[in-house]
Structure 1
């Protein structure tokens, strides 16, 4: 066997020498990608600290993207140039694309190697189902969310409402938002997250009992009565409740400043919203109304860790961090740093992890109460899922900007999405 001397190692190009030296020193470096650092960074910082105590020989290098869409595009480019990170936390709605392209590795063998029944590790069937696509376990759920309503109880009182009895249907919500909007002084009634992706449109569509595509996924189904009523509701938010045409960042800033009565967005932003609001006003949270009391559902957002490492040592290290981040301990860290729902049943059931936290932080409970009506965020088939999302967002923008009627926007949305679906023989 030929030994690599220190002098010979130093003579090698850096790209060749460094891995050898790292292994000689017993340290493995892996690259981890995640999106939305404005939400997730604190949770990953906490994980790094805890993980270092268990695995001091593994060094983590992070790469971030502003949102899930850019994260998906980044990995598609890196897959083409064989420069993938070792682990990537992707939105559930994008995992299907990576599974179908063979980029996401099947985690089933790794899970079975640790326990005959993954539920013993906290991975119950319903939690595993969030990341099952293409016939494989394409990831492990790291964070789950559903949409909630954040409201300014002080403005609700000024408008004649009762913060203790916030409206539970959209008619009541719109009426209250209109009263808050009428207060003047630069105050707007409400803002509903319509930009970025199709998640909040899903909340309206699923709340009406609708679906995105038909049963065999050969054609759109969101253009039925449920989808049309959803777009008409979006229009009413603008015309009746005075919803301003703001970016998500601007809307959150307006809400924190006390200039917005209510904002509908992901529960993942609870921690950040509490911090930004401070003592400006009495902040409350509540659930999102669903229209159909029997069929009405809400989409589950969030992200799952997807393993992509090829090198055996890096793959083992990436798997260890993925397991730690989705363990009961890791999930407790994630929940406390964000507002997301836990994705490990042990952290949910065992009071030592989150029992006291939920008791002392009632603003986090709105999303927990909606778990029974939450279903997976729909993942479009084929390689055009990111473009599909953009078509939907662009057409919702036309309604918010009063440039198209719901009927016009729906026709164009359905036609645009239909063209991007995989061709059927």
Structure 2
């Protein structure tokens, strides 16, 4: 890497301004030219700048550290939480002189923040990376696009996530070589993201690609995750027998490898399936089974199952149980303020149970704008229809018609039939 690019990278990493780095050495304008590789400075000037940054002028090549970082990244891809956390906490080479090692550490640290659900830190990291991403080589760009796509996926900004995943796939299918497990992981996330966008046909295509690779690698856990996602896709297009078949295949694997987190995921989605079939009691049982298999750090998974329980108890008129689970949901949301979607769901049911007159305005001013802004077309359709029903019951037919039309429009955007 050119010395100017190295200086800019390490300066930004150390949160130094150009003024702080240049002080009593050179002018800020001259430093800017050096950092942009527009001029050749003397060895004496470069040594002074590097000394202030705490790096050596001559870059070392630390291949062993790079291999360690790739192994750490693989732990995160393989969902091995404890070893990944242990590595990060014990890693001693964060202040390396090798710019490649330093950049890959920053990229994989971004993935780590997403992995442990510290999305605020991840967002700060992305902002800093954007200041020097123009110095990345093609492999760095691949990881940047993929990992930022994962960030936006977990922020429920699926359209933005997809743009980054597409860029990553373009690099992946070029001449750059990646391991099979890396290719499968990108395909899995593209399938996952397409699923959330309602593009179910595309989701099935990418998940089947990922599944084929995982099966060839004898990766049972990731194969089971693909079977679960295929089951979700088939459930959404009312192919209930195929959904159950995929869940059964996934259950056999999860039980065979004794993986509670996988079982929790399967039970949740079986609960969703039973809910769709109108079997609330069976759905409630599965949602509870799911929660029993989810660890405390699986925050989003726990909230989804709690939301499922609230919905089912409300359907069958067990309002006390509904309130109890709603309270538990609010406690978790209070601890994790970066998950506004679930806070919205719980407030909605709180208003419903209170028969609050504020419910229509809440849906109109808070709920719909949030889900429209994040391309949650199915949830826009659901809440728009509920608002239409409220206005219809209150003889406000013009408003009711407007929101029923909005619901239909959102369904068209969501449905795989209209892609």
| Range into which the TM-score falls when normalised by the shorter chain | under 0.3
Structure with more relative contact order (C-alpha pairs < 8 Å, separation 6 or more) = 1
User: Which has the greater radius of gyration?
Assistant: 2
- With the length of structure 1 as denominator, give the TM-score of the two structures: 0.25
